Amino acid sequence: MNNPNLKLTATKNFDVRFSEVDSMNIVWHGNYALYFEDARELFGKKYGLEYLFIYENGFYAPLVELHLNYKQPIRYQDNVEITITYRNTDAAKIIFDYEIVNLNTHTLMVKGYSVQVFLDKDYQLVWNCPTFYQNWKKEKGLL
């Protein structure tokens, strides 16, 4: 059953480490891609859409778009929470939205999204949703 109000999300709290900040004591911009990756891995484990599951079904799912919108700087030792939300689409893509919130101030720090496509084992772009992905969506009530 397709439930348009269904939201698949996962949330992870973490403290910003010294190795993640630059000389201004704010998170270096490249680390946001790592935070988003951690969220995707968490989502995959929670909902059964892990990278190995995709691979075992004969596909790769490379990231082709990554968008970040910085609202406030995140600093060393800030306690933050990243929430990843699956964005359902009819396209042969996996799209996630992200929000990072400072848990001490409850301030939205960063918003973003990512887009992944499917490649077959010959690295050719797949234009139609793979069967395993359609089945996953049905199982989760997204179709």
What is the total count of domains within the chain? Answer: 1
User: Is pTM beyond 0.85 here?
Assistant: yes
Q: Tell me whether residue 2 is in a domain.
A: no
Residue 133 has pLDDT above 90, yes or no: yes
**102 pairs with which residues across the strands?**
80, 107
User: What is the per-residue pLDDT for 6?
Assistant: 85
User: What is the per-residue pLDDT for 86?
Assistant: 98
User: What is the per-residue pLDDT for 4?
Assistant: 62
Token look-up 């050719």 returns 124
Residue 3 has pLDDT above 70, yes or no: no
Q: What would the pLDDT profile of 87-131 be if each residue is shown by its tens digit?
A: 999 999 999 999 999 999 999 999 999 999 999 999 999 999 999
Q: What is the rounded distance in angstroms from the CA atom of residue 35 to the CA atom of residue 12?
A: 10
What percent of the chain is modeled with pLDDT above 90?
Answer: 95
Containing structural domain, residue 59:
9-138
The CATH code of the domain that includes 28 is 3.10.129.10
